[in-house]
Structures are given as C-alpha cells and as structure tokens.
Chains A and B, each alone.
Chain A
Amino acid sequence: DAKTTQPNSMESNEEEPVHLPCNHSTISGTDYIHWYRQLPSQGPEYVIHGLTSNVNNRMASLAIAEDRKSSTLILHRATLRDAAVYYCILSGSGTYKYIFGTGTRLKVLA
C-alpha cells in the first residue's frame, strides 16, 4: 500500500487560509487521494478527494502536483471548528482499503 507523509502538527490563525501538505511519492497511476478529518472522539469526516486534477468543494480545495507525488489540502478561511486531525489517504484499485497515517493536527488560533 502506498504511504503518505504529513507534518505532525500545524497552526493557523482564524480566518486565514491553511495549506496542509501531503507527500505520496510512491503513488501509483490509479491511486485516488482522499482527505478526511477527525475531531476528538468522533469518526473521520470526508473532506475531499481527487485523482489528477485539482478539486473544489464547499469545504476545501485539493491541489494535486503534476507528478502526483504530493498534494495540498487548502482551507480557504480557517475557523475554530476546523481544528482537527487531517488525514491524507491513498486508495488503489481493487483494494478500497484506507491505511491511515499519523495525520496533521491542525490548531486554529483565535
């Protein structure tokens, strides 16, 4: 299973944009990139996913490098409710399994 590498923690000021990086240098051509976030004592919440092109939804944007070896989750205006652990996960064809890494703990400062 392809692995991802994320910084352990990041801080952001409220209402500022946040860029959460993820490295996945061993990604294969058919692997999708998924982002989830988890609040304390809750199950992970879907944020966004993509394959090759950049993606936008109401929660965030996903910027995928041209070589697909890295991606960045962009929260356009961080709020206190965005404080969570963010996981970048790859899933390949045929397995559908998610292997969670350590994730990035995002702290949002008021």
Chain B
Amino acid sequence: GAVVSQHPSWVICKSGTSVKIECRSLDFQATTMFWYRQFPKQSLMLMATSNEGSKATYEQGVEKDKFLINHASLTLSTLTVTSAHPEDSSFYICSAREGLAETYEQYFGPGTRLTVT
C-alpha cells in the first residue's frame, strides 16, 4: 500500500518558538495532502487541506497565521507551528491522496507528537 512518512516523530520545543513538521508521500505523488490534530482520547480534527502549488484551505477556527502549510511538491507538505504555546501540544497527523477521483483513499502518516514546554 501507499506509504506516508512524517518527520520528526516527536518534538519538544519551548514556548514562543516555531517548529516544522514534514509529511512525505514515499511511493506516490500526492495531489492533495491533509493535516489533522488529535488531542488525547479525542478523535482526529481536520485542520487544513493543501493542494500542490496552491494555498492551503483551512477549516473554521484554525488560525492560518499560526499553522503555516506549504505544499511545494507532489511528495512533500510541511506544517509550521509558529510561536508555539503549551496549548498547541498535540498529535499532528498528515494524510495524502493520490488523485482527485472519489475512489482514491487517504493514506495517513504515523503522526508527530508535539510537546511545547
């Protein structure tokens, strides 16, 4: 099956600093990538959708200036959490989709655990 990787798998940063998380599709080209956030014992919450070469579309309530998303190539998307605060500590998961037809599935990365101290 299709493989999606994330880097780093975990990161600890100090409050006020920025952190970048990478999401790569390893064996397919992803026309669309998605970013999710998951708090402990909760479900995944979609943050944004990004198409290669276009600006990301953010879900309601997600601050676009705080969560910067770049999808510069068909295999790489990055999420930068700017001026991180302890409440941004969460499990961040990306997914990638190969095509636009409804039959294409989303394949998820293993997640990145962010802890802001």
Contact = CB atoms under 8 A, between A and B. Distances in A.
A32 B110 contact: no
A102 B41 CA distance: 10
B93 A98 contact: no
B34 A100 contact: no
Interface in B83-117: 91, 93, 95, 97, 100, 102-103, 105-111, 113
A58 to B, nearest CB: 11
A17 interface: no
Given A96-B100, A98-B46, A102-B43, A43 B110 contact: yes
B29 to A, nearest CB: 16
Interface residues of A, number: 25
Nearest to A48: B105
Interface in B46-68: 46, 49
Interface in A28-42: 30, 32, 34, 36, 38, 41-42
Contacts, number: 59
Contact of B43 (A32, A43, A103): A103
A76 interface: no
B46 A44 contact: no
Given A97-B49, A101-B43, A43 B108 contact: yes
Contacts of B77: none
Interface in A3-40: 30, 32, 34, 36, 38
Interface of A: 30, 32, 34, 36, 38, 41-46, 49, 51, 87, 91-93, 96-103
11 contacts: A38-B44, A43-B4, A43-B93, A44-B108, A46-B106, A46-B108, A87-B43, A93-B102, A96-B97, A100-B44, A101-B43
Given A41-B91, A43-B108, 5 more contacts: A45-B108, A49-B105, A96-B100, A96-B106, A97-B46
